[in-house]
Chain A
Amino acid sequence: MTPDSKRFLHPEAIRRIGRLEIRARHIVEGFMSGMHRSPYFGQSIEFLQHRQYSPGDDLRHVDWKVWAKQDKLYVKQFEEDANMRTTLLVDVSKSMQYGSGPLNKYEYAATVAVSLAYLLLKQHDAVQCLAFDETIRARTPLRSSNNHLRAIVQALDASTPENKTDPGGIFRELAEQSPQRGMMVIVSDLLGDVESTLRGLRLLRQRGHDVLLLHIMDDDELDFPFDGPTRFEGLELPRHFNCNPRALRDGYLESLEQFLSTLRHGCARDAVDYLLVRTSDPLDAALAKFLTRRMAAGRKN
């Protein structure tokens, strides 16, 4: 692990979730080798070792050359295939800079993204990472090599939350640019036009992508615990106003609830996996919750 990766890759969190495996809910191209027969049979096969034949083994894997020489049946064993394409979409808009705990939303989102990348790369899946706000600010190629993690970390580390966000636009753009189906993991606070965001998500789903949405919110944003006269200054909007936050709390929470409700319903309608994560939630717990839900969904299917 490089010094750069330490910022976003927490060994403790990785250790706890290391035993879990990523499973896509839908079968996409090159997915689930080892568990299911791949539609692209014979691609990316690397020989690992021989094993004595036992009844029930696939006869296609019998090494007939060895049988011819030694008159014994051996089957050839191969390393697992790396054929899942995962794109990690991390929001680097200015609103992600907000944080009341040890990690702000961006740091939390980047950590989640890097942790997932580590897991995926470990099982030799191809991972690509995109940092976006209004446009795509950084992009890493789709690779499955172990040292690709470093490129992802560097890409996220180099990105600084500065501008407004437009998730809807980015999702539409991505849908157009990615003809191959894969898994899209979006890590964002989604503060923007909710309808536009949902339209973008729907487009991704229509293109056959498996979409996972990790909605990162700070405790302050969800609980609004402010007290006393306060001047609120917009991080993305050039607006500010003074108020007694306690008087506006109920109204704020009502609006927020409405936003979250719209988002949840939209995701449910388009079969987008949605998970609201608080920045105060332990990272490993959030990841474990996410992966558990994915596994449960996989078994249903």
Chain B
Amino acid sequence: MTYLFPTLLTFGLPLLALPVLIHLINLRRRQRVEWAAMDFLLESQKRNKKWVVLRQLLLLLLRTAAIALVVGMLASPVIRPAWAKIFGAGMKHHVLLLDDSYSMTDQWGETSAFEEAKKAIERLLSQSNAADSEQVVTILRFSEAERLSVGSTPEIYQQKLNAKLLESLQEDFAVSHPNESNAGPVDALEAALRMPETAADETRIAYLVSDFRKQQWQEETQLSQLVQRYRAQVSHLRLIQCVGETRDNLAVTRLEPESGIRATGVETWYVVEVANYGDTPANEVTVTVQADRDKLPAIQLGTIEAGEDASQRFRVTYETAGPHQLTASLEPDAVALDNVRYFAAQVPKTIPLLLIDSSPRGDDGYFLETALSPGEKNLAGWSPQIERASFLRQHDQLDQFAAIFLLDVPKLDQTEVDVLEAYVERGGGLGIFLGEQTRRQFYNESLYRDGEGLLPAPLDIPTQLLRDSDSATADVEVSDHPLFSIFSGQRNSFLKLVRVEFYFALLPEWQPEAAQPLAKLRNGAPLIMEKGFGEGRVVMQLCKLSPKSTDLGVWSNWGLNPMFPIYANELAGYLTAAKRQYHLLTSGDVLEVVVPESDYQGEAEIIAPDSAVKPTVIIGEANEQNLTFKSTKPTTSGVWRFDLQPIENREDVAATPTRVIAVNVPRGEGDLHTLQRGDLAELLDGIDYEFLLASSVAEGNQKLAGYPLRDLLFWGLLATLAIEQLVAVAASYHGRVATRRAIA
């Protein structure tokens, strides 16, 4: 028999003398009574002396035994059974798969799921260390599992279990926190499966220490198969649940511009979204928003029902160009990490647009340019540049434009088509306005290309929209697409004034698939269509932009309508949004900044959100006239800053030597619904495992080490105390005295 805590015996055994000591002290403290009725007392003593002494001795014995049992119980004796092969012979290998995803930050009281996990592991290894056999430990964190390739091993791999390792682990755990990733058990189990197979003399005991989040375990269908496969590799599998109950949690799940970043001085609409992962409605949810260092008015989201989310738009106007950041935060709750969401972007002074205008007198370009950039102050933030179609061949310059518009372009050569397609595929926006110059054969063959090209739909001949003088129906009917959301309500009355005389009909045999009509004519024919292409977008208007008369006549008065400048701005915003001007990264992602090699020096500094972390100097990789700077360490949530070094004589880039990138924790990890014993039993039906709560992990481990006597001693203690009480009652040492009249 061994003791898990033998030191307690040293301190505890002297306590056995306590009842005798108390008895002796009481003898010294006895009260003195001058008594008249001594005869009766002497008679009673004479009659009961033997029994009294016997009972007193029995009580003394029972009380001493009770103390001995308590001491024994705390010292935790363990009998090593002959059948306990686990600890009896060979090497024991404890493989601990530790969940360190950010849901493990789930906090209650003074502890958290991760703290419970660490404590459980410490207890488990401390007790295992008490065993005589050779034991080794491997700890595989969920967050490091993904990057573990075949053959590579975790940081703590097959390290010999001894006091030194325990000490080192305790030091490591003291500063160890959950990762911000949403790493799940799949990667961890796959990494564990890649570990070398169990040796002949090895007994491998695996522990999966996690919060067993319901969403993750129930969504990952292959999990039970993975567990089953892994179970076949190990001698024992223990699932250690670190969370007892599900707590409510709110998370900011979205913070980004509704339709791309606008230029300085122009309102940018943002959307903030909050999810309620709890089981009860969240009332009066308020989001605090901070733009750079300025606190914006708080956003009230009202009540969010359990399991639902709520979003709201708000606008921010940046007065200066350059890096800006936005932070949305909630009140503290169970998980702190998902209460904050960051957004960061470079805000341009103006956003360049390329207008390829082929209209005979440049009318289309004039109307669009006027709509996008009226006056000298450039209030809309666009800087349109009108060029001929040949400009498209300068493909190295196209990426500086946020969107390209083709205005009544008759045709393009193949190089120009290729450049344009590549541009849109990379995320650029393309606006196409047709007109009398448009050669539909070229458009259908080169741009539509049986649905493979940029054009949303194949064109038929220009068609006149027949007018019905009696009809009050407007010529144009818009959908509820975001492009037209600004026209909703009373303001769409101006749309009734739009008159369309001619439009390009679509080939009748064409069936809409990828392209969506955003606006239709009175007769149901599409007027504006959209198509996604690669990462970019294409919006086509089947009618000429300019309201001026052509050989065919006036196509429409749309360009003269008061709503047209608004539409043009929305369209530019929509198309430029497709080519994102900001990064949406999650924790752990690699940060990357690409700048022209000609403008910047090859060295940059990365400054982490945590001011305690020292800035890192990185060397950019030169690639195709660009310099690519990449972060070298896993990123955490917050706004990261790249301090670049512009080449001195390049004044145009010297104003923006800083790039900002926001990193956020992944969504969904804040859903704290967990699987408990019953749920896991259902999910892992047929798999032999043992489920333990982190708080009771020591008991589970004792069973591995041998037959624990603690329970037995506990019951023995209860029995002893019960007998002691009975004897004490029998010896009249219980019950209140003198509360009743013995003799009336």
- Chain A residues 217-235 with CB under 8 Å of chain B are 218-219, 221-235
Q: Closest residue of chain A to B53, judged by CB?
A: A247
Whether the Cβ atoms of A228 and B48 lie closer than 8 Å is: no
Across the interface, A230 reaches (CB within 8 A) one of B30, B52, B738, B742, namely B30
The reply to whether the CB of A64 lies closer than 8 angstroms to some CB of chain B is no
Across the interface, A229 reaches (CB within 8 A) one of B30, B42, B55, B731, namely B30
User: With A225-B737, A248-B44, A248-B52 as given contacts, are A253 and B34 in contact (CB-CB < 8 Å)?
Assistant: no
Nearest-Cβ distance from residue A60 to partner chain B, whole angstroms: 51
Whether the Cβ atoms of A233 and B737 lie closer than 8 Å is: no
Distance of A252 Cα from B48 Cα, bound (Å): 10
The reply to whether the CB of B45 lies closer than 8 angstroms to some CB of chain A is yes
B43 cross-chain contacts in A, Cβ below 8 A: 251-252, 255
Whether the Cβ atoms of A228 and B33 lie closer than 8 Å is: no
Distance of A219 Cα from B744 Cα, bound (Å): 10
Whether the Cβ atoms of B44 and A226 lie closer than 8 Å is: no
Distance of A259 Cα from B38 Cα, bound (Å): 13
User: With A237-B38, A252-B44 as given contacts, are A229 and B733 in contact (CB-CB < 8 Å)?
Assistant: no
- Chain B residues 80-126 with CB under 8 Å of chain A are none
Whether the Cβ atoms of B40 and A255 lie closer than 8 Å is: yes
Q: Closest residue of chain B to A189, judged by CB?
A: B36
Whether the Cβ atoms of B34 and A235 lie closer than 8 Å is: yes
Whether the Cβ atoms of A233 and B35 lie closer than 8 Å is: yes
The reply to whether the CB of B56 lies closer than 8 angstroms to some CB of chain A is yes
A4 cross-chain contacts in B, Cβ below 8 A: none
Whether the Cβ atoms of A226 and B732 lie closer than 8 Å is: no
A256 cross-chain contacts in B, Cβ below 8 A: 37, 40, 743
The reply to whether the CB of A244 lies closer than 8 angstroms to some CB of chain B is yes
A248 cross-chain contacts in B, Cβ below 8 A: 41, 44-45, 48, 52
Distance of A221 Cα from B41 Cα, bound (Å): 10
The reply to whether the CB of A157 lies closer than 8 angstroms to some CB of chain B is no
A254 cross-chain contacts in B, Cβ below 8 A: 44
User: With A239-B38, A241-B42, A248-B45 as given contacts, are A223 and B31 in contact (CB-CB < 8 Å)?
Assistant: no
B47 cross-chain contacts in A, Cβ below 8 A: 251
Please classify how large the interface on chain A is, using the bins under 10, 10 to 19, 20 to 34, 35 or more: 35 or more
The reply to whether the CB of B491 lies closer than 8 angstroms to some CB of chain A is no
Contact with A along B37-66 (1 / 0, CB 8 A): 111111111011000100110000000000
A236 cross-chain contacts in B, Cβ below 8 A: 36, 38
Across the interface, A247 reaches (CB within 8 A) one of B31, B733, B740, B742, namely B733
The reply to whether the CB of B741 lies closer than 8 angstroms to some CB of chain A is yes
Q: Closest residue of chain B to A218, judged by CB?
A: B36
The reply to whether the CB of B27 lies closer than 8 angstroms to some CB of chain A is yes
Q: Closest residue of chain A to B29, judged by CB?
A: A229
Nearest-Cβ distance from residue A105 to partner chain B, whole angstroms: 8
User: With A229-B27, A247-B56 as given contacts, are A221 and B737 in contact (CB-CB < 8 Å)?
Assistant: no
A231 cross-chain contacts in B, Cβ below 8 A: 30-33
The reply to whether the CB of A290 lies closer than 8 angstroms to some CB of chain B is no
- Chain B residues 688-744 with CB under 8 Å of chain A are 731-733, 737-738, 740-743
Contact with B along A193-229 (1 / 0, CB 8 A): 0000000000000000000000000110111111111
The reply to whether the CB of B649 lies closer than 8 angstroms to some CB of chain A is no
Whether the Cβ atoms of A247 and B48 lie closer than 8 Å is: yes
Whether the Cβ atoms of B743 and A260 lie closer than 8 Å is: yes
Distance of A5 Cα from B662 Cα, bound (Å): 103
Nearest-Cβ distance from residue A244 to partner chain B, whole angstroms: 7
Whether the Cβ atoms of A251 and B737 lie closer than 8 Å is: no
Nearest-Cβ distance from residue A294 to partner chain B, whole angstroms: 21
Q: Closest residue of chain A to B25, judged by CB?
A: A229
The reply to whether the CB of B152 lies closer than 8 angstroms to some CB of chain A is no
User: With A223-B743, A251-B48 as given contacts, are A244 and B33 in contact (CB-CB < 8 Å)?
Assistant: no
Distance of A254 Cα from B738 Cα, bound (Å): 16
Nearest-Cβ distance from residue B732 to partner chain A, whole angstroms: 5
The reply to whether the CB of B511 lies closer than 8 angstroms to some CB of chain A is no
Nearest-Cβ distance from residue B44 to partner chain A, whole angstroms: 3
Q: Closest residue of chain A to B30, judged by CB?
A: A229
Nearest-Cβ distance from residue B214 to partner chain A, whole angstroms: 60
The reply to whether the CB of A249 lies closer than 8 angstroms to some CB of chain B is yes
B737 cross-chain contacts in A, Cβ below 8 A: 225-227, 246, 249
A223 cross-chain contacts in B, Cβ below 8 A: 738, 740-743
Whether the Cβ atoms of B742 and A253 lie closer than 8 Å is: yes
B742 cross-chain contacts in A, Cβ below 8 A: 222-224, 253
Contact with B along A87-113 (1 / 0, CB 8 A): 000000011111000000100000000
The reply to whether the CB of A191 lies closer than 8 angstroms to some CB of chain B is yes
The reply to whether the CB of A257 lies closer than 8 angstroms to some CB of chain B is yes
The reply to whether the CB of B26 lies closer than 8 angstroms to some CB of chain A is yes
B31 cross-chain contacts in A, Cβ below 8 A: 226, 228-231
User: With A246-B732, A248-B48, A255-B43 as given contacts, are A232 and B743 in contact (CB-CB < 8 Å)?
Assistant: no
B38 cross-chain contacts in A, Cβ below 8 A: 232, 234-237, 239
Most interface-central of B37, B41, B42, B741 (chain A CB within 10 A) = B37
User: With A229-B30, A244-B52, A260-B743 as given contacts, are A251 and B37 in contact (CB-CB < 8 Å)?
Assistant: no
A243 cross-chain contacts in B, Cβ below 8 A: 41, 45, 52
Distance of A231 Cα from B731 Cα, bound (Å): 19
Across the interface, B40 reaches (CB within 8 A) one of A189, A241, A246, A252, namely A252
Distance of A155 Cα from B578 Cα, bound (Å): 123
Distance of A257 Cα from B33 Cα, bound (Å): 21
Nearest-Cβ distance from residue A25 to partner chain B, whole angstroms: 24
Nearest-Cβ distance from residue B363 to partner chain A, whole angstroms: 115
Distance of A218 Cα from B731 Cα, bound (Å): 25
Distance of A250 Cα from B732 Cα, bound (Å): 8
Whether the Cβ atoms of A221 and B52 lie closer than 8 Å is: no
Distance of A105 Cα from B37 Cα, bound (Å): 12
Q: Closest residue of chain B to A235, judged by CB?
A: B36
Nearest-Cβ distance from residue A165 to partner chain B, whole angstroms: 10
Nearest-Cβ distance from residue A56 to partner chain B, whole angstroms: 48
Q: Closest residue of chain A to B743, judged by CB?
A: A222
A2 cross-chain contacts in B, Cβ below 8 A: none
The reply to whether the CB of A52 lies closer than 8 angstroms to some CB of chain B is no
A253 cross-chain contacts in B, Cβ below 8 A: 742-743
The reply to whether the CB of A242 lies closer than 8 angstroms to some CB of chain B is yes
Q: Closest residue of chain A to B731, judged by CB?
A: A247
Across the interface, B34 reaches (CB within 8 A) one of A96, A98, A219, A221, namely A98
Distance of A256 Cα from B56 Cα, bound (Å): 24
Distance of A96 Cα from B742 Cα, bound (Å): 21
Distance of A254 Cα from B33 Cα, bound (Å): 20
A225 cross-chain contacts in B, Cβ below 8 A: 737-738
Nearest-Cβ distance from residue A225 to partner chain B, whole angstroms: 3
Distance of A221 Cα from B27 Cα, bound (Å): 23
A229 cross-chain contacts in B, Cβ below 8 A: 26-27, 29-31
Whether the Cβ atoms of A232 and B44 lie closer than 8 Å is: no
Whether the Cβ atoms of B33 and A232 lie closer than 8 Å is: yes
User: With A222-B741, A223-B738, A223-B742 as given contacts, are A230 and B39 in contact (CB-CB < 8 Å)?
Assistant: no
User: With A237-B38, A239-B38, A246-B737 as given contacts, are A255 and B44 in contact (CB-CB < 8 Å)?
Assistant: yes
Nearest-Cβ distance from residue B179 to partner chain A, whole angstroms: 63
Can you report 21 residue pairs joining A to B where beta carbons are below 8 Å apart? A218-B36, A224-B742, A228-B29, A228-B30, A229-B26, A229-B29, A229-B30, A230-B32, A232-B35, A232-B38, A233-B35, A234-B38, A235-B36, A243-B45, A243-B52, A246-B731, A247-B48, A248-B48, A251-B47, A259-B40, A260-B743
With A222-B743, A224-B742, A235-B34 known, 8 other A-B pairs at CB within 8 A are: A97-B34, A97-B36, A230-B32, A231-B30, A243-B52, A250-B48, A251-B43, A256-B40
Binding site for A on B (CB under 8 A): 26-27, 29-45, 47-48, 52, 55-56, 731-733, 737-738, 740-743
Binding site for B on A (CB under 8 A): 94-98, 105, 189, 191, 218-219, 221-237, 239, 241-244, 246-257, 259-260
